[in-house]
Amino acid sequence: MAIKPILVFPDPRLHIVAKPVGAVDARIRQLVADMLETMYEAQGIGLAATQVDEHERVVVIDVSEERNRPLVLINPEIVWASEDTQVGDEGCLSVPGIYDGVERSVAVKVRALDDSGQEREIEAEGLLSVCIQHEMDHLMGKVFVEYLSPLKRNRIRSKMLKSRREAVRA
């Protein structure tokens, strides 16, 4: 396994739409293992392949307290989303240190393949529902800050670029 570098907003590669996985093979299982290691190392609860510059429809999530119940979603699709929505603070490993309110469906039902290639349907609500929607946005080339006002988004972009410049100088 290997920890992969996480792309940071406003990196244009975060806007690439991920392609469907053709087959769940050894390469995809290795990608899943690397993504899980990367997510746990970064103290995240979700990670999309797009965030590690792999543009395939792969998501890993673990919202458990013990950090020992990983969920793997390959080629996920939302087959149902509740009409009820809720605004909650979201953060993102690709936008470190920034949290803001995003409106999401309270519950979703997702169809996806697991890391053994088996199709499954998952019903989710609460934090898991939010996390699934957030990570699936990444697969579509969308970062959560795009739900915010242009003013907030530009302030965040400036802050991220400034942090990157300061890191290069250090």
92 in a known ligand binding site: yes
What the block records as the tokens of 138 is: 């990444």
Hey, which bits of 18-84 come out as E strands?
A: 46-48, 58-61, 71-81
Give the per-residue pLDDT at 167: 82
What's residue 168's pLDDT? 83
Q: Which pLDDT score is estimated for 11?
A: 96
pTM value surpassing 0.75: yes
Separation CA 81–CA 114 (nearest Å): 20
Peptide bond into 10 cis (omega under 30): yes
Q: Give rounded-to-5 percent helix, strand, coil for the chain.
A: 35, 30, 30
CA–CA distance, 46 with 66 (Å, rounded to integer): 15
β-bridge partners, 86 = 104
The tens place of each residue's pLDDT in the chain, 170 residues long, gives: 799 999 999 999 999 999 999 999 999 999 999 999 999 999 999 999 999 999 999 999 999 999 999 999 999 999 999 999 999 999 999 999 999 999 999 999 999 999 999 999 999 999 999 999 999 999 999 999 999 999 999 999 999 999 888 888 87
Q: Is 90 a catalytic residue?
A: no
In what order do the strands lie in the sheet containing 107-113?
46-48, 58-61, 71-81, 107-113, 119-125
Q: What would you report as the CA-atom Rg of the chain, rounded to the nearest whole angstrom?
A: 16
**What's the pLDDT at 95?**
97
> Choosing from 54, 77, 125, 135, which is the catalytic residue?
135
Q: Is 15 annotated as a binding residue?
A: no
Cα–Cα dist 15/106, whole Å: 25
Amino acid at 143: V
